[in-house]
Homo-oligomer: A and B are copies of this chain.
Amino acid sequence: MTETSQAAALVLCSGGQDSTTCLRWAANRFATVYTIAFDYGQRHRIELEAAAHVAAEVGVIEHRVLPINALSALAGNSLTGKEPVTSEVNGRNGLPNTFVPGRNLLFLTLAAAWAYQLQITDLVTGVCQTDYSGYPDCREQTMDALALALRAGMESPFTIHTPLMHLTKAQSVTMAQEEGAMELLAHSHTCYNGSVPPCGVCPACVLRCKGFAAAGVADPLLVRLGLA
């Protein structure tokens, strides 16, 4: 994970806490930044508004929202389906029922396809192995293998930057402070149920809340909403 300065980067920006932190991280290091978000029929579609907001705030060259109807067509998970979002595992490989198989592989492949056209080779994603909630496509091993596949498949020297890969949620919060990302995080969206204010009980809310608590920092989103 080398740090660059004169190049351009493409940040996968869902509008969530982690990708928003990574967007600030990238803007601090790259001369120009592009962002991409994915509209895959997620019930927390409000995160797309958060993504557009933080991208505009950072002044990216272009923010693109890519529609993916294929994931809905594959169905079978609670982020795109109608089952309630729970923190319980669905019994398959012990994965949470929010698991969309291969979602990050798909997102990064599509991001790389756009990056290829932009002649950008630096991709930035907020995936994190430490708090990976059982999602195997967030692990470093997966990202390393995928980087090889993308390089070979497009003959382009892609690097997948994963600034949060080995951080705890508390360390991510500390990093966000150091990078000056708190203002952006006030406009990020995390809740899987798409609620503003956040529901506070879905797995994503619980994880976010624990992270800020462990770092001893008030969540700027809750501060903005007058809740902390």
Contact = CB atoms under 8 A, between A and B. Distances in A.
Question: How many copies of this chain sit in the oligomeric assembly?
Answer: 2
A interface, by DSSP: helix, strand, loop or mixed? helix
Contact of A102 (B69, B74, B93, B113): B113
A148 to B, nearest CB: 4
Interface string A143-154: 001101111111
Interface string A101-145: 110111001101110110000000000000000001101011001
What is the size category of the interface that chain A forms with chain B? 35 or more
A139 B93 CA distance: 31
A190 B168 CA distance: 51
A223 interface: no
Interface of A: 64, 66-71, 73-74, 76, 93, 95, 100-102, 104-106, 109-110, 112-114, 116-117, 136-137, 139, 141-142, 145-146, 148-156
